[in-house]
Structure 1
């Protein structure tokens, strides 16, 4: 039987978009902590992604409508309501309906050479779209939250210091993990603060989080980039740090994969300092946030264990913290 919240969403979609839904299945992946996503079907078999978003900004539907209208490949255009809006406000959250384009996440593979190249072509097309006054008003600047991220990381380090003997085994494990990479984290913290003044550059539309979990695959190399709730205006390095020696999922991108992405993107004029800065900010944000979730005793043991596993991955030899540390040290060695 359809849960109460699902019945409410069905009623909202009918009232706002004029679409009757016969099925609504919640999807656990592809959303942040402040959003819920459903795969919906209509009587004639059409499928839609229905999303309720409470965090981030209203950028998602605004940006994707803008990009799709300009023919950018790999963008699923949101539907408009009966009265022409991109998203109605329901229960304090934004309701968006988008065609369901694929069941195949790139994270689950397999990605062909054509998929990698199309991924690069799509990022290049996104970055080439002119920024309108509306987008300039709507989109935040990429990386502007770095002071709070630095503060959260230092606070977390303080909370875990000397807690290796904690009575909670998970807390003890996390304290030991942070202690083992203290020098690495300090290098990344110093690098973020030192390079912050030079992070500005040409501001383009950036997805902000174009990892493989947000990439869907289709036949003949087709790809779609979804979950635009955290889109920003930033230098291209904000997105490119995922594919230029960065982490696309839970492992570094391989040289062959990077070559294919670059073949699709073209020859970007990449600023090494900006690339390292965005990589470092993302590393600290992920490290502090996932550690916070692992320490949250209000969460289930499974959720805490999953968060702790992600923390271990972030500081592993191929993890984001390690890559950020290496990128910053490489900058220091340059003339």
Structure 2
């Protein structure tokens, strides 16, 4: 969707006038476009057009903001009081703009990590009723989407050219192929086992991608959680894996001290090792396959493909998620 179409759609469905849109680049979601918008009154908003995820991406932040104001961007309702509007095969949503620095670049410190623990605890404590029950998908422990895509990418890389960016990807991939295939097999096995378990912890509202890049540290130092598009009702480990074991970002691994601060705010919880292992493995398959798919796509720009290769190299690094998935994250546990 181009800015003129976005402005037209907003004018049709929202009580917002005179919007000026500025595109925001750098997000990892290839199925979404994001703009910063300023209306005729000088108010600022985030405008998102997405063909992925589910309406849960608006339902959960609205519910969280209602009980813990400022923890998530408040959605702006449409004229019909909906939290989003369907435009063709995608969703258009508007939220209040949050000022602050990215959690990627802004150290949280002890108060910030404590507050982040409280934030996720509040999210996981939301009642599963009403729109939360109706609109948020439920965990099915079926990893086949990413397991199948992994197999496709793995096969394609056997025919990679001898030079260029694809060759660099193939070299990195093949050096770690045994480890990747081990994670692939174990994730499939764990998924099958978890689908039959009767003693799993209760499912709670989960963000499903609460890494530091999806946090804004507000001007008063509080963490604000963004981008709920992958939200799901699942065991809390679905979110906790982004902190325990070192997190998922190789460039800014979560230290043992930071994990301890987070858990002080989150509260007591008995971690399920199989659940953490499953979710780490699933994330490895997702990130490795999706990022490699970007590198292999000649229709994308050189910048996009180089950036994706850099993320693959981070995933495969000593502090990356592949190493955590193989070790169970023991090297970084508090």
* Structure 1 and Structure 2 fold alike (TM over 0.5): yes
CA distance in 2 between counterparts of 1:162 and 1:17 reads 50
Which stretches of structure 1, 4 residues or more, deviate above 6 A after TM superposition? Answer: none
Is residue 248–residue 321 contact of structure 2 (8 Å, CA) maintained in 1? no
CA distance in 2 between counterparts of 1:167 and 1:117 reads 49
Of 259-268 and 203-212, more deviation after overlay is shown by 259-268
Please show how residues 123-134 of structure 1 align to structure 2 within 5 Å. 123-134=120-131
Please report the RMSD computed on the Cα atoms of aligned residues, expressed in angstroms.
2.1
| Shift, 1:126, TM fit | 0.3
| 3-state SS of paired residue (2:2) | helix
Please show how residues 163-178 of structure 1 align to structure 2 within 5 Å. 163=160, 166-178=161-173
Q: Which residue of 2 aligns with 1:53?
A: 50
Please show how residues 134-213 of structure 1 align to structure 2 within 5 Å. 134-142=131-139, 144-161=141-158, 163=160, 166-196=161-191, 197-198=193-194, 200-213=200-213
- Judged with a 3 Å threshold, the aligned counterparts in structure 2 of structure 1 residues 31 and 309 are, in CA distance, closer, same or farther, namely closer
| Shift, 1:13, TM fit | 2.1
| Shift, 1:277, TM fit | 0.8
Is residue 141–residue 194 contact of structure 2 (8 Å, CA) maintained in 1? no
Is residue 143–residue 278 contact of structure 1 (8 Å, CA) maintained in 2? no
Q: Which residue of 1 aligns with 2:269?
A: 268
Of 63-72 and 122-131, more deviation after overlay is shown by 63-72
| Shift, 1:8, TM fit | 2.8
| 3-state SS of paired residue (1:61) | helix
| Shift, 1:147, TM fit | 1.2
Q: Which residue of 1 aligns with 2:293?
A: 292
Output the TM-score relative to the length of structure 1.
0.90
Please show how residues 297-312 of structure 1 align to structure 2 within 5 Å. 297-312=298-313
Output the TM-score relative to the length of structure 2.
0.90
- Judged with a 3 Å threshold, the aligned counterparts in structure 2 of structure 1 residues 121 and 14 are, in CA distance, closer, same or farther, namely same
CA distance in 1 between counterparts of 2:183 and 2:140 reads 15
Q: How many residues align?
A: 325
Structure 1 gaps of 5+ residues are 331-335
Q: Which residue of 2 aligns with 1:327?
A: 328
Structure 2 gaps of 5+ residues are none
| Shift, 1:73, TM fit | 5.2
Is residue 146–residue 285 contact of structure 2 (8 Å, CA) maintained in 1? yes
| Shift, 1:162, TM fit | 6.1
Q: Does 1:29 align with 2:26?
A: yes
Q: Which residue of 2 aligns with 1:333?
A: none
Is residue 324–residue 330 contact of structure 2 (8 Å, CA) maintained in 1? no
- Judged with a 3 Å threshold, the aligned counterparts in structure 2 of structure 1 residues 84 and 31 are, in CA distance, closer, same or farther, namely farther
Of 123-132 and 41-50, more deviation after overlay is shown by 41-50
CA distance in 2 between counterparts of 1:73 and 1:267 reads 24
